[in-house]
Structure 1
Amino acid sequence: MRVKLVSWNVRGLNEENKRGLVRNLVSQWGANIYVLVETKLTGNVSSLLHTIWNNKWVGELHLEAVGNSGGILILWDIRVWEGELVESGEQCISCKLTSQNQNLTWYLATVYAKCKRMEIRDLWCELGAMRSLCEGPWVVCGDFNVVRYPSERTNCSSINVAMLEFFDCIDELELIDPHLFGGSFTWRRGENHTTASRIDRIMYSAQWEKLFTLIRQSTPPKLVSDHNPVLLTCFVLAEKLKLLKRKLKEWSKNNRSNWKQQKEEILDKLSKWEILQEQRPLTNDELMQKTNLAMSFEEVVKNEEIRWRQRSRIQ
């Protein structure tokens, strides 16, 4: 049994070029559930699905943006999951997901919190009400617009009321807040990341934890948005070993294009720069190297898409 979920504040999906880059990253991560917040999408969201995820078998639920703010989009592979809406509020939406192949039903709540503390208090009430409707394993993810500890924000040395209220909410809902691998922050601002915080996270109930022998929360490099994606990978160990064996077998036989390898190498280098940038400001030369890597990723994506279009014409 395996669950792979990506939660990401994309900072808008109205631009076609940006959706193309998002689609490429989505294909790169290979998850079966994607949660995209601050989409800023309204109207016929379903018509855009193929421009966000290159998958014919996509189910979706969404919460429309209000004006030019907010918006939540939950996508899943219908070959893996059957999804249905449980409840939607102003700052979150909850759905029920049932495995098509395993005996597993669970609930997912997705959050895009408003900025003002009084409005965030309303979110904690929304989550409490939704939890009462979700009797089973539960996962909560998204952009909470608040940190839990002072160490999760630059230039912060004391606990404030908002942190305490967030802490109380996590405690009352009995959520597990796992360690984040890959960096200390999920949002950054400024050329040298002078302002950064961990406002995006994925949490889960004890019932969820009991289902898996391995659960890992990590953060891939920041591209397209000023938020890092957050990836939750959950395995039963036997399944992980079987998957690893299959991947090794594929690797020994696979002699296809190296587009994916190029992108992985670029993303790995970007991730190392971001970790270094959390430890100290980058020099101008280092910032240039990091910028060049991001530009190289876009160039690889464009070249890959051109190649696929050429192949489709020939076929």
Structure 2
Amino acid sequence: MSKPRIKIGRNINLDFIQLYKSTWDKIHVETDVFRYKVENLREKIVNEKYLLQLNPDRSMKRRIPEQIENICQPFDENKFNFTKASIEETMFIIVNDDNDVDEHVVLVNVSPISRYHSLLCPSMYKCLPQIVTKDSLQLTIEIMFCVRDHNIRIGFNSLCGLASVNHLHYHIFIEKNILPIETVKCKHLKGPVYILDDYPVPGFCFEVTPQINEPSENIYKLIDVLLKKSIAHNIFITRGQSVMGDGDIVRVVIWPRKSSSGAKQLAAFNVAVCELSGWFPVYDIECFEKLTAKELEDELRKWKYDRFEDLCEDIKQLY
């Protein structure tokens, strides 16, 4: 069964969202690949800031995550990986040009956080481990430039940062609500790097515009430091306010964090890329009703990388 092949680039005018939504909906309605159906999730905004969505099925019915001990753990073909996904789970294939044999596959997430949650698997058949590559990062930025829709977000969880499968993949979300990370003020660190100002978990922010050629070059320099230092991390790519407070740009936010390896997780929610952005998929109905902004922020702060200030000094040396 052949799947659509589409080209992505900042100069390509493609109704990506229409294709994306219609394909996802068709698979959701006409197949049984999903572990549960996502209809109308209950949601609310806490303290005029944090988005909570109730999704108990994700906790109970998702695939058991792989045990991860190292952020640079090699790919293991004997464990679950996305080449083992059924053809019915494939939405479409992204290529860089007509002659490109390198296939970036978009799959539905069979255990979705919310409606239209899917997985982007760059160079899927190369069987790369869950470690950011410069090319894959550039691909996600090109998608953001091509789509130009405020509702699309792309996230990445590193190994030991709540990634559940050791096969290179990013999460694609469609979410109508504005998230806290999209408006938080930032302070200049050095060069193209900013740091989040007065946010529960400190992180780095890059401002990306179509005028910047190969933005992944500068961003990957920082990620490479995290990899060499074995620091778990989460990445969120979204549209938001300019770090200077004016205009609308693409923000790439990177949080270094404590490792999740062997850590006890909460029953209500885990802290991965969505939660760090201010969007909390909650598994427990009582917690959904009662969680306060302070409790949410307190849990986020537990995952702060303890030597963030020292890391900032290392990052300054890159630019």
Q: TM-score, normalised by structure 2?
A: 0.29
Q: Which is helix-richer, 1 or 2?
A: 1
**The structure with more radius of gyration:** 1
The higher-RCO structure (CA 8 Å, 6+ apart) is 2
